[in-house]
């Protein structure tokens, strides 16, 4: 029996722009992706079985996600078993900490962790780039979750360019108890006659300069034009933290999660305490975290 433990980190979008759509319906994006400290933990155990047929078992402490073959984690394991002729019993124990359906790539980062864990156990010579190609059909965010760090993501999410590390800061991460249909958000955006685009190139420049305040000024998410109208509490949460000293507060992905950037941990922690004590937000998830670098 062999075992490996991997942390699967959430991501936020410091910038997210939609620049077109392919004929197959996939949207073309330009995004600045950033790994953050909120993470799930996956323990992957491999044991030989007499019949020599792969068997995937998924266990989790979460009641919010399916544990059958439709889970991205199980899909990732089956893809690896087929690609590398793995015929063992694979048990995956998922400790879920990233909020579900939150715009934080929780499912994608868990799948990425399985791709990397099984690569390390069975095919250590496979590069991250090769693993990303294998993972892309399962989800456009998974290649980024394999790469991690601070990256420009283009195409449908598969074109990744490493950027300098984003400036150090403290983050408050919040998720209101609502769900957002990502497909509907993109379809609604498509129906708009036009919309302002965030300055992704300017954001890259500010990150490269190590300018936290300038980076915060350039953060933007075009999908908030849609999700913000559907879920007004997103704007209310952003304003709450801006009123308490955040240099930036924006939605991540298609929502509904919100992150607030602070220069000082003490201010961030105080703002989070006040947030949790506010009756209107008492049912929201909230956490203090930071950027993760690779």
Residues assigned a catalytic role: 11, 141
3-state secondary structure of 163: coil
Residue 235's Cβ-count burial label (10 Å; 0-12, 13-18, 19+) is middle
Question: Rg of the chain's alpha carbons, rounded to an integer?
Answer: 19
| Element (DSSP H or E) covering residue 266 | helix 265-276
Tokens of 282: 């008492």
Tokens of 195: 């919309």
Q: What order of strands is seen across the sheet that includes strand 248-251? A: 248-251, 258-262, 170-175, 285-289
Instruction: Return phi, psi of residue 53, to 5°.
Output: -110, 140
Rounded CA-CA distance 166/163 in Å is 8
Rounded CA-CA distance 233/281 in Å is 9
Instruction: Return phi, psi of residue 213, to 5°.
Output: -65, -40
Pick from 73, 85, 80, 88: which is nearest to 1 by CA?
Answer: 88
Are 11 and 36 a contacting pair, CB within 8 Å?
Answer: yes
Tokens of 21: 């759509």
Instruction: Return phi, psi of residue 151, to 5°.
Output: -140, 145
Rounded CA-CA distance 224/234 in Å is 9
């Amino acid at each position: 029996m062999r075992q490996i433990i991997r942390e699967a980190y959430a991501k936020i979008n410091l910038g997210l722009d939609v620049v077109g759509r392919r004929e197959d319906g996939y949207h073309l994006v330009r995004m600045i992706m950033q790994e953050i400290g909120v993470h799930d933990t996956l323990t992957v155990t491999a044991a030989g079985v007499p019949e020599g047929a792969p068997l995937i078992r998924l266990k989790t402490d979460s009641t919010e996600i399916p544990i059958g073959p439709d889970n991205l984690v199980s899909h990732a394991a089956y893809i690896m078993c087929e690609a590398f002729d793995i015929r063992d019993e694979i048990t995956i124990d998922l400790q879920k900490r990233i909020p579900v359906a939150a715009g934080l790539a929780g499912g994608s980062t868990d799948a990425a962790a399985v791709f990397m864990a099984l690569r390390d156990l069975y095919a250590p010579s496979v590069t991250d780039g090769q693993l990303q190609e294998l993972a892309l059909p399962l989800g456009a965010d998974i290649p980024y979750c394999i790469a991690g760090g601070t990256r420009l993501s283009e195409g449908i999410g598969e074109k990744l360019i490493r950027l300098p590390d984003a400036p150090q800061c403290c983050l408050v991460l919040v998720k209101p108890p609502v769900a957002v249909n990502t497909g509907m958000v993109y379809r609604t955006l498509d129906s708009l006659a036009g919309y302002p685009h965030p300055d992704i190139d300017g954001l890259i420049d500010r990150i490269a300069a190590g300018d936290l305040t300038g980076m915060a000024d350039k953060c933007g998410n075009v999908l908030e034009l849609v999700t913000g109208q559907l879920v007004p509490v997103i704007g209310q949460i952003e304003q709450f933290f801006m009123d308490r000293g955040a240099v930036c507060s924006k939605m991540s992905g298609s929502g509904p999660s919100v992150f607030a950037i602070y220069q000082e941990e003490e201010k961030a922690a105080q703002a989070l305490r006040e947030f949790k004590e506010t009756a209107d937000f008492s049912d929201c998830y909230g956490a203090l975290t930071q950027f993760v670098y690779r």
